[in-house]
Amino acid sequence: MKVAYVALLPSYSSGIFNKIEEKAKTCKQLNLPFDFFLINTVVEKKENNLILIKEKLSNFDFLNKVLLKLNLYELMEKHIPLDKYDFI
For residue 4, the model assigns a pLDDT of 95
For residue 26, the model assigns a pLDDT of 96
Q: What is the DSSP string of 28-79?
A: HHTT--EEEEEEESS--EEETTEEEEE----SSHHHHHHHHHHTHHHHHHHH
Alpha carbons 36 and 34: distance in angstroms, whole number: 6
Three-state secondary structure call for residue 11? coil
Q: Are 5 and 36 spatial neighbours (Cβ–Cβ below 8 Å)?
A: yes
| Successive 10-residue mean pLDDT values, the chain, 88 residues | 91 85 95 94 90 87 85 91 92
What confidence tens digit (pLDDT) does each residue in 26-35 have? Answer: 999 999 999 9
Tell whether pTM > 0.85: yes
